[in-house]
């Protein structure tokens, strides 16, 4: 089926978009479809990816025609539950590819992280159907690159809403988060003309909890040896988490987990039993940023967990459904989101504890800390964490990179050497 008319109606750059889809499809073919012994359940993800700019976008457009709103966002602090509670649709905006960077650099300094540049690049190059479909894009005051970027991004998109976020886990910080959730809830009610009720919010929490429980189940299964699923496929699941219909996603990931349980029972897996097991930790890896996991797994190691926002940092905690009123349920949401240990917080000791816990839970042999160039929060934390993890006998490799493929050879050499080190 051709979606060209839909993309043209969304104001996209058709020629450049066709080229992007070709590159994506070639990359997917090479990195994902050549993996050995993939679970059959990954066919669902293959289909979702093949239709990521097609069928799913059509669903959004159809929903809009039926009166629903689409809310795009960049950060795991934006509460999907409030969006669902007004019957709107939440979509993550990927920002994982080096597109439109020259255009983005007309607005941003060259030494801005690739994630922020990519958000401008996708918009300026007319390449993201999710951005074009969004009735509102929600930004957040987290790191400086994003915060200052939004001051210009607001003039490029039709509707930008910026959420303020605390930087310290203090009493005042928690109050700010709560005030911002209340302000966002009121904004969503105005945008959609629908009221958040205790029933609609409870149901939304149930849907999002179910989705998070499915990926938590997947995470637990990866503790098995041999690993029943690759890190590359698991990362993809954590990325698609943000765009797919939540109920369909939950159902299919649970089915995949059923299959993995059978594999584990049979001792079947995607890597050798003695393959080095690596935890990846750091900046979010948005679609289609698969560079580091692909190198790790092509070199004989297996990734057993992602301490990333496109991974456990984004999905780890469930919201306890406490209370019978909307304010009580918003309090419950605040409790859940307050636990996110993003590097924009200072101090951020909880995150180091999370990394150590994941190493133990998934029996990782080493940690690869991934930082995007020019990302100060994660790069600075990686230096701090390296000392403490190594002191605990956990080997660490710090990688700083961007979205280009120019450093692939150099990265492969360093990652290979790290794998050799942890094998000893």
Give residues in contact with ligand SF4 (CB under 6 A): 75-77, 113, 115-116, 142-143, 145-146, 283-284, 309, 340, 342, 344, 372, 375, 377-378
Nearer to ligand SF4, 177 or 223 (CB): 177
Nearer to ligand SF4, 106 or 111 (CB): 111
Is residue 213 within 8 Å of 318, Cβ to Cβ?
A: yes
Burial zone of 103 (CB within 10 Å; 0-12 exposed, 13-18 middle, 19+ buried): middle
Nearer to ligand SF4, 79 or 284 (CB): 284
The kind and range of the H/E element at 182 are helix 171-192
* C-alpha span between 340 and 350 (Å, rounded): 9
* C-alpha span between 222 and 260 (Å, rounded): 9
Nearer to ligand SF4, 17 or 123 (CB): 123
Nearer to ligand SF4, 222 or 316 (CB): 316
Phi, psi of 380 (to 5 degrees): -65, -45
* C-alpha span between 280 and 301 (Å, rounded): 12
* C-alpha span between 406 and 101 (Å, rounded): 15
DSSP tag of 317: P
- Establish how many alpha carbons lie within 13 A of residue 43's alpha carbon, considering only the half-sphere containing its beta carbon: 4
Q: How many angstroms separate the Cα of 233 from the Cα of each of 65, 176, 247, 368, 372? A: 34, 37, 20, 18, 21
Nearer to ligand SF4, 42 or 358 (CB): 358
What is the closest distance, in whole angstroms, from the C-beta atom of residue 380 to ligand SF4 in the complex?
Answer: 10
What is the closest distance, in whole angstroms, from the C-beta atom of residue 109 to ligand SF4 in the complex?
Answer: 12
What is the closest distance, in whole angstroms, from the C-beta atom of residue 286 to ligand SF4 in the complex?
Answer: 9
Nearer to ligand SF4, 189 or 400 (CB): 400
What is the closest distance, in whole angstroms, from the C-beta atom of residue 341 to ligand SF4 in the complex?
Answer: 9
Q: How many CB atoms lie within 10 A of CB 113?
A: 25
What is the closest distance, in whole angstroms, from the C-beta atom of residue 287 to ligand SF4 in the complex?
Answer: 14
The candidate with the shortest Cα–Cα distance to 372, out of 105, 118, 73, 100, is: 118
The 302-307 sheet, strands edge to edge: 302-307, 277-282, 366-372, 396-401
Nearer to ligand SF4, 44 or 181 (CB): 181
Token pair in block for residue 278? 């690596």
Nearer to ligand SF4, 240 or 257 (CB): 240
Nearer to ligand SF4, 115 or 215 (CB): 115
* C-alpha span between 150 and 73 (Å, rounded): 12
What is the closest distance, in whole angstroms, from the C-beta atom of residue 83 to ligand SF4 in the complex?
Answer: 16
Phi, psi of 401 (to 5 degrees): -150, -175
Furthest CA-CA distance within the chain: 61
What is the closest distance, in whole angstroms, from the C-beta atom of residue 11 to ligand SF4 in the complex?
Answer: 25
138: helix, strand or coil: strand
What is the closest distance, in whole angstroms, from the C-beta atom of residue 147 to ligand SF4 in the complex?
Answer: 9
What is the closest distance, in whole angstroms, from the C-beta atom of residue 69 to ligand SF4 in the complex?
Answer: 22
* C-alpha span between 242 and 5 (Å, rounded): 25
* C-alpha span between 153 and 157 (Å, rounded): 7
What is the closest distance, in whole angstroms, from the C-beta atom of residue 116 to ligand SF4 in the complex?
Answer: 5
Nearer to ligand SF4, 309 or 333 (CB): 309
Kindly provide the b/e burial profile for residues 264-284, where b requires at least 16 CB atoms within 10 angstroms of the residue's own CB: beeeebbbeeebbbbbbbbbb
What is the closest distance, in whole angstroms, from the C-beta atom of residue 112 to ligand SF4 in the complex?
Answer: 8
């Amino acid at each position: 089926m051709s979606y060209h008319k839909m993309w043209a109606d969304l104001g996209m750059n058709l020629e450049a978009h066709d080229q992007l889809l070709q590159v994506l499809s070639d990359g997917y073919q090479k990195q994902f479809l050549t993996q050995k012994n993939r679970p059959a359940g990954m066919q669902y993800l293959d289909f979702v990816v093949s239709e990521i700019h097609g069928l799913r976008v059509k669903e959004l457009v159809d929903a809009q025609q039926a009166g629903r709103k689409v809310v795009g966002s960049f950060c795991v602090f934006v509460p999907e539950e409030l969006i669902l509670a007004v019957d709107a649709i939440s979509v993550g905006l990927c920002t994982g590819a080096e597109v439109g960077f020259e255009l983005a650099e007309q607005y941003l300094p060259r030494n801005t992280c690739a994630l922020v540049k990519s958000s401008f690049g996708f918009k300026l190059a007319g390449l993201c159907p999710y951005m074009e479909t969004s009735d509102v894009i929600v930004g957040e005051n987290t790191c400086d690159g994003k915060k200052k970027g939004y001051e210009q991004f607001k003039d490029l998109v039709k509707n930008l809403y910026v959420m303020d976020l605390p930087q310290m886990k203090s009493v005042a910080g928690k109050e700010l988060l709560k005030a911002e959730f209340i302000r966002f809830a009121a904004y969503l009610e105005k945008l959609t003309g629908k009221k958040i009720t205790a029933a609609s919010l409870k149901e939304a929490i149930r849907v999002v909890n179910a989705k998070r429980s499915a990926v938590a189940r997947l995470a637990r299964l990866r503790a098995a040896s041999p690993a029943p699923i690759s890190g590359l496929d698991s990362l993809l699941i954590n990325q698609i988490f943000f765009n797919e219909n939540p109920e369909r996603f939950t159902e299919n990931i649970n089915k995949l987990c059923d299959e993995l349980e059978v594999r584990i029972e049979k001792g079947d897996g995607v890597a050798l039993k003695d393959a080095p097991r690596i935890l990846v930790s750091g900046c979010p890896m948005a679609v289609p940023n698969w560079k580091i996991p692909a190198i790790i797994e092509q070199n004989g190691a297996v990734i057993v967990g992602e301490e990333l926002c496109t991974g456990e940092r984004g999905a780890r905690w469930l919201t306890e459904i406490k209370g019978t009123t909307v304010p009580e349920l918003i309090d419950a949401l605040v409790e859940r989101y307050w636990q996110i240990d993003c590097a924009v917080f200072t101090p951020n000791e909880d995150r180091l504890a999370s990394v150590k816990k994941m190493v133990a839970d998934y029996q990782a042999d080493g940690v690869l800390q991934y930082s995007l160039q020019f990302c100060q929060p994660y790069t600075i934390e990686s230096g701090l964490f390296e000392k403490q993890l190594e002191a605990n006998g956990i080997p660490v490799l710090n990688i700083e990179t961007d979205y280009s493929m120019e450093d692939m050879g150099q990265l492969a050499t360093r990652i290979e050497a790290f794998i050799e080190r942890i094998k000893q």
